[in-house]
Every structure is written in C-alpha cells, then in structure tokens.
Structure 1
C-alpha cells in the first residue's frame, strides 16, 4: 500500500491511465471483430468498409502505445489479405 503522498498520487494516475487504455484496447478489438465477422459472412463490400473503419482505430491504438506499431501494421496487413482472398 502506498504511504507517501507522491506514491498515492501515482496509484491514482496509474488507475486513470489503465482505465483509458482498457477502453482504447476494447474499442480497437470491437472494430477488428466487425471486420472478422464480415469476412466470415463472405460479404466483401461489408468487409472492406469495416476495414476502412478499423484501420485508423488500430493505428491510433499503436500511436497511443496500446500495442506496438509493427503489430498494428501486421494486423491491418493480415486483415487486408484475408479480404482479398474472398474474391
């Protein structure tokens, strides 16, 4: 348990940051799920529009430090390849 004033303040800051990060990660995953559901249904047009909405969210998460930049690029790339394979 934090005893000093600065340690107590840090626990408050960490809790606030954790809540923000959890929200951002959840939002990103929701967008990815919508793309994967569109791919599973086989609807290419819906999948493309879902990817267009998801890509900025994924990159924003990488920019905010939720996940590494290369991981975000890899996720977008793999989703794009899966959509192209629908043809």
Structure 2
C-alpha cells in the first residue's frame, strides 16, 4: 500500500482512470456489436453511418492510450472491409 502522500494520490487516480477506461472499452464493444448486427442484416447505410462514429471513437481511445493504435486501425479496417463487401 502507498505510504507517501503523492503515492496515495496516484493510487486514487489509477482507480478513477481504470473505471473510466473500462467504461469506454465497454462502450466501444457495444458500438462494434451494433455495426456487426447491421452487417449481418445486410443494412449497408446504417452500418456505414455507424462506422464513421466508431472510427472517431477508436481513434480517440487510441490517442488517449485506452487501446493501442494498431488495435484501433485493425478494428476499423476490418469493419470497413466487411461493409464494402456488402
């Protein structure tokens, strides 16, 4: 356990950040799931609209270090190619 004042603060900040990151990852999974549902339903317009929002979200998460840059790029690329194949 942290003994110094600064270490205690860092421990509190870590807890807050972890909760925030878990929430953001969960939100991302839900958005990706919505796109995949639209792809399965062969609804290209809805999937394309959701893809734009998802790309922005993934880029923002990668920028802030919640997910890695390559992970964001890979997910975006795979979703885009699935939509283009409709």
Give TM-score scaled by structure 2 length.
Answer: 0.88
Question: 1:9 maps to what in 2?
Answer: 9
Q: Where does structure 2 lack aligned partners over 5 or more consecutive residues?
A: none
Q: Over aligned residue pairs, what C-alpha RMSD do you find?
A: 1.3
> How many equivalent pairs are there?
86
Question: 1:65 maps to what in 2?
Answer: 65
Question: 2:27 maps to what in 1?
Answer: 27
Measure the CA separation in 1 of the matches of 2:18 and 2:45. Answer: 36
- Superposed displacement of residue 2, structure 1: 2.8
Asked if structure 2 preserves the Cα contact closer than 8 Å seen for 1:58 and 1:72, the reply is yes
Give TM-score scaled by structure 1 length.
Answer: 0.87
Question: 1:43 maps to what in 2?
Answer: 43
- Superposed displacement of residue 5, structure 1: 2.5
Q: Say whether 1:74 aligns with 2:74.
A: yes
Measure the CA separation in 2 of the matches of 1:6 and 1:48. Answer: 47
Q: Where does structure 1 lack aligned partners over 5 or more consecutive residues?
A: none
Asked if structure 2 preserves the Cα contact closer than 8 Å seen for 1:61 and 1:67, the reply is yes
Runs of 4+ in 1 over 6 A off after TM superposition: none
